[in-house]
Amino acid sequence: MTPGRLTEDVYARIDASLAASDARVAAAYPGEPAGRQPVHTVYVPAGGYHAGLPGEWGARALDVLTSHALPAADDVLARVRAKLASEPIEDLRIDFEDGYGNPGDDVEDAEAVRCGRELASELAGHGGRAAPFCGIRFKSFEAGSRRRGMRTLDLFLEALGGPPPGFVVTLPKVTDVDQVAAAAEVLGELEKIHGLAVGTLRFEVQVETTQSVLRADGTVALPAIVHAADGRCSGLHFGTYDYSAGLGIAGAYQGMDHPAADFAKQFMQVAAAGRGVRLSDGSTNRLPVGEAVADGWAEHLRLVRRSLERGFYQGWDLHPHQLPSRFAATYAFFRENLAAAADRLRVYAGDGDGAMLDEPATAQALATYVLRGLDCGAVDEHELATGLDRRALSRLAARAG
């Protein structure tokens, strides 16, 4: 190596002056978390949950797909049918919040215990096809519901007997960053009480209040929320309707594609980038049921595709009839650009010439895109270009290739 004019003491002095900064950046920005991200979270009111529900939702989705024409390519439809028969729900959230209400302490106590036992039965193989990701949404940490939410989570975990891999809970309606820190503390206490390893319990924060985007002093709340979670925040999930209503948007105009929703979600993206925190879009309340199946599917297909194009690879589903459109939109998104993405990665790896000159960051994004397609079942490994397999893609996704 040719020596320059800077002396070693200059190099060393600059390294030393930035050592604390290097440590802060490494701790705050660990990068994209490893492993699969579910393409959706299905919210089911606690009173309606029971072991075997994922299989029942899959059967209902297959029934409506048989009786109504879903606009999708044949290869996509074949994959959708296979998915509905084998893994209709990727992430199941048993809801003790808005979808459940306030039936009284005795009723909710009993329901928390029942649901914990039902999920344990499902996971033990006695209830059908369990979702690979699961958890509950408890009531918020605002003063009026805090104790109830904590108690429900405690009773549920006791009945469950030990959370499975992919277990996550949801903290709704954050109105102050300190609520996030308190939730992280409670999860730590629950780990001690229930004999769980430190860090077992993680949570998603719902971004459904204006205070979870902008604090009262005018500073952005989202980075502070992630920091306050002390490493336990696995995701930021947008709450379409609570957030829209909080801004005074009329009900007829509330939706995932409203400019106000996009504003909040763009803040979420910036706050989560590189932090090891995943993003989820919200839900649409326009259901494909009755005479509105075709219109509901068209709207859902459009909105899911819109989210995917904007970098939100997960969303909420609220009804079995939304499963066909969820998977159809997702599979089409990944299949349509598979060949181009694989070819660009092949060229980037030095195997031939191409019309695109990609930077390492773009190659990383392309590899992550293909891995997401593999994870959700949109594509199979044998469809990839020669020389590309999951191992090679994982290296590129980590910028190690």
Region 48-53: mean pLDDT is 96
3 state DSSP class of 398:
coil
What is the per-residue pLDDT across 266-312, written as a single tens digit (0 to 9) for each? 999 999 999 999 999 999 999 999 999 999 999 999 999 999 999 99
Backbone angles phi, psi at 54, to 5 degrees: -55, -45
pLDDT over 60 (residue 393): yes
**What is the C-alpha separation between 116 and 49, in angstroms, rounded?**
10
The whole-number pLDDT of residue 127 equals 66
In this predicted structure, the answer to whether residue 400 has a pLDDT above a threshold of 50 is no
Q: Tell me, what's the pLDDT at 356?
A: 65
Tell me the pLDDT tens digit for each residue of 148-205: 999 999 999 999 998 999 999 999 999 999 999 999 999 999 999 999 999 999 999 9
- Residue 185, number of CB atoms within 10 A of its CB: 12
pLDDT of residue 355: 63
20-30 pLDDT tens trace: 999 999 999 99
pLDDT of residue 348: 84
| Residue-wise DSSP of 324-393 | HHHHHHHHHHHHHTHHHHHHHHHHHTTSS--S----HHHHHHHHHHHHHHHHHTSS-GGGSPTT--HHHH
Nearest of 271, 293, 160 to residue 226 by alpha carbon: 271
Q: Select from 201, 188, 128, 170 the least CA-distant residue to 316.
A: 170
CB-based contacts of 180: which residues, under 8 Å, 6+ apart? 171, 174, 205, 225, 228, 229, 233
Domain boundaries of the chain, sorted by first residue: 40-335, 338-397
Q: What confidence tens digit (pLDDT) does each residue in 97-127 have?
A: 999 999 999 999 999 999 999 999 999 987 6
User: pTM, whole model, 2 decimals?
Assistant: 0.93
Lowest mean pLDDT among 137-141, 312-316, 366-370: 366-370
Per-residue pLDDT, 327: 98
Buried b (16+ CB within 10 A) or exposed e, 326-365: bbbbbbbbbbeebeebbbbbbbbbeeeeeeeeeeeeebbb
Choices 3.20.20.60, 3.40.50.720, 3.40.50.2000, 1.10.357.10: CATH for 40-335: 3.20.20.60
Q: For residue 106, with 0-12 CB atoms within 10 Å meaning exposed, 13-18 middle and 19 or more buried, which class applies? A: exposed
Confidence of residue 347 (pLDDT cuts 50, 70, 90): confident
Higher pLDDT, 364 or 228: 228
Residues 6+ apart with CB under 8 A from 320: 56, 57, 58, 60, 61, 64, 88
Supply the pLDDT for residue 128. Answer: 66
Could you tell me the pLDDT band of residue 401, with boundaries at 50, 70 and 90? Answer: very low
- The pLDDT of residue 333: 97
pLDDT of residue 108: 98
Q: How far from 306 is each of 77, 231, 310, CA to CA, in Å?
A: 20, 30, 6
pLDDT reading at 349 higher than 50: yes
Position 145 pLDDT exceeds 70: yes
Return d(Cα 118, Cα 130) in angstroms, integer. Answer: 11
pLDDT attached to residue 398:
83
- When pLDDT is averaged across residues 132-160 and rounded to a whole number, the result is 97
Q: Which of these ranges, 122-136, 247-261, 312-326, has the smallest mean pLDDT?
A: 122-136
What is the pLDDT averaged over residues 136-158? 98
193 CB-contact burial (10 Å; exposed 0-12 / middle 13-18 / buried 19+): exposed
The per-residue pLDDT for 352 is 62
| Mean pLDDT of the 387-399 span | 83
Q: What is the pLDDT of residue 386?
A: 67
Tell me the DSSP string of 132-173: SEEEEEPPPSSTTTHHHHHHHHHHHHHHH-SPPTTB-EEE--
CA 337 to chain centre: 22
**Pairwise pLDDT comparison (126 vs 74), residue with the higher score:** 74
Quick one: pLDDT band at residue 399, thresholds 50, 70, 90?
A: low
Average pLDDT for the chain? 94
What's the average model confidence in pLDDT over 365-378?
A: 93
